[in-house]
Amino acid sequence: MTNSFVVPRVPSVDAVAVEERAARFKTRSIKKDAKIKGLKLAASMIDLTTLEGMDTPGKVQMLCQKARSPLAGSDCPQVAAVCVYPTMVPIAKRELQGTAIKVASVATYFPSGQASLKERTDEVRRAVEAGADEIDMVISRGDFLAGHYHKIDEEIRAIRQACGPAHLKVILETGELQTYDNVRLASQIAIDAGAHFIKTSTGKVSPGATMPVTLVMLETIRDHFIKTGKMVGMKPAGGIREAKQALHYLAMVKETLGDAWLSPDWFRFGASSLLNSVLMQLEKQRTGRYHSDRYLSLS
C-alpha cells in the first residue's frame, strides 16, 4: 500500500431516499420550448459509440459522418464525441478533422480491465499517441470488491499520468459494485485520484446506468465541489435509449449540480441509440409527426 493513501470517508447512502428522489425526476412536466432545447442539449452531450468485435473502418467512418451531421436538413447539433477501440482512433481522428467533436477511446483492456497495470498504461499511451482526446478506463472491480482500494487509487493515478493531455473518464461498472455505498466510495476514490469524469458503466454489463446510481454519483460530485471548488464531469452509460429518459437525466443534473454542468464539457451520455430517439422527437416537434426510422443511419 502506498504510504499516502487513506480510504476516503464518505457518508452512507440512504437507499430508500435516493430511489424516491430519482423517481420524482420522471414526473417533471416539460413544456414544448424547453423540451426542444433539452433535446438539442442532449444530442450535443452524446458520445456516439461503436465497441463491437466486428467494427470495421467503414463502420467508424459512417459513425463519424453521423456525428458531424446527425440528420441532414435538421438543426440538430453535432455530438460531443465519437468513442471507439484504440485501433480505430486514427480513422476517427481523420474523419473528424476540422470539427470540435472529440475522439474518445476505451483503452485499459476494456471492458474487463484484466491486464497488468503496465499493459493498461501502455495501451493508453498508444491511444493518445494515435490521436485520442479522451480515454475511458475501467477500474478493477475485483480489487475494489476485495477491499484493495489503494490499488484502485494507484491504477487511476497511473493511467491519468499516461493520458498526458487527454481527459480521463473513469468507468466504475456500477452494475458490479453491488451497493450504493460502494458506488459512493468508488466515485470518491476516482475523483480524488484525478478523474476528469466519472462514468457508470461499460455498456457490457446489466444493469448499466440507472437514475438512482447516477444520483449517488452526482451527489458525490456536488459534495466534492462544495468542499474543494473543483468541478468533475459525469457520464451515465448503458441502457439510456429514449429521448424522454435523457430529459429526466438532465432535470436531475440541473437540480443536483446546477446549470454549470448542463454542458458537454461536464455531462455526457454514453448511449448511441439515444441519438435516433432524440432526432425522431425533434422532428415530431418540428413537423407534428414522427420521422420514420428508415431515414436514420446506424444507431
The answer to whether residue 1 scores a pLDDT higher than 60 is no
Whether residue 201 contacts residue 183, with contact meaning beta carbons closer than 8 Å, is answered with: no
- Tell me the three cell numbers of residue 258: 446546477
Q: Report the predicted TM-score, pTM, of the whole model to 2 decimal places.
A: 0.93
List Cα–Cα distances, 218 to 29, 48, 52, 200, 214, in angstroms.
22, 22, 29, 11, 6
pLDDT tier for residue 290 given thresholds of 50, 70 and 90: low
* 34 HSE (CA, 13 A, CB side): 9
Q: Spell out a b/e string for 272-289, using b for 16 or more CB atoms within 10 Å of the CB, else e.
A: bebbbbbbbbbbeeeeee
Whether residue 55 contacts residue 242, with contact meaning beta carbons closer than 8 Å, is answered with: no
* Sheet with 233-235: strands ordered across: 47-49, 81-84, 102-105, 134-138, 167-171, 197-199, 233-235
pLDDT tier for residue 73 given thresholds of 50, 70 and 90: confident
The answer to whether residue 2 scores a pLDDT higher than 70 is no
Cα separation, 54 vs 85, whole angstroms: 11
Contacts of 190 (CB under 8 A, 6+ apart): 139, 152, 156, 170, 172, 198
136 belongs to the catalytic site: yes
Indicate the angle between helix axes 272-287 and 32-44, nearest 10 degrees.
150
Cα separation, 226 vs 216, whole angstroms: 15
Q: What is the mean pLDDT of residues 55-80?
A: 93
Q: Quote the pLDDT of residue 297.
A: 61
Q: What is the mean pLDDT of residues 140-152?
A: 96
**Burial classification of residue 3, based on how many CB atoms lie within 10 Å of its CB (0-12 exposed, 13-18 middle, 19 or more buried):** exposed
Cis peptide before 207 (omega within 30 of 0): yes
pLDDT tier for residue 222 given thresholds of 50, 70 and 90: very high
| Percentage, residues of the chain above pLDDT 70 | 95
Q: What is the mean pLDDT of residues 213-237?
A: 98
The answer to whether residue 296 scores a pLDDT higher than 70 is no
Report all structural domains of the chain as residue ranges with CATH numbers, in order of start. 45-294 (3.20.20.70)
169 belongs to the catalytic site: no
Q: Where are the alpha helices (DSSP H) in 1-31?
A: 15-24
| Percentage, residues of the chain above pLDDT 90 | 82
Whether residue 244 contacts residue 35, with contact meaning beta carbons closer than 8 Å, is answered with: no
List Cα–Cα distances, 45 to 10, 70, 192, 237, 257, in angstroms.
29, 13, 24, 12, 16
- 281 φ/ψ sector (left φ>0, alpha ψ -120 to 50, else beta): alpha
List Cα–Cα distances, 185 to 5, 39, 147, 163, in angstroms.
14, 32, 11, 23
235 belongs to the catalytic site: yes
The answer to whether residue 202 scores a pLDDT higher than 80 is yes
| pLDDT tens digits along 29-49 | 888 889 999 999 999 999 999
Lowest mean pLDDT of 26-30, 252-256, 268-272, name the range. Answer: 26-30
**Max Cα–Cα distance, the chain, nearest Å:** 63
| pLDDT tens digits along 89-99 | 999 999 999 99
Q: Quote the pLDDT of residue 10.
A: 96
Question: Can you name the residues that pair with 134 across neighbouring β-strands?
Answer: 104, 167
First to last CA, the chain: 44
Which residue among 133, 136, 151, 169 is the active-site one? Answer: 136
| pLDDT tens digits along 167-189 | 999 999 999 999 999 999 999 99
pLDDT tier for residue 113 given thresholds of 50, 70 and 90: confident
Write the DSSP symbol of residue 269: B
Q: Which one, of 240, 243, 239, 241, lies nearest residue 281 by Cα?
A: 243
pLDDT tier for residue 111 given thresholds of 50, 70 and 90: confident
List Cα–Cα distances, 132 to 17, 66, 99, 102, 106, in angstroms.
39, 19, 14, 8, 10
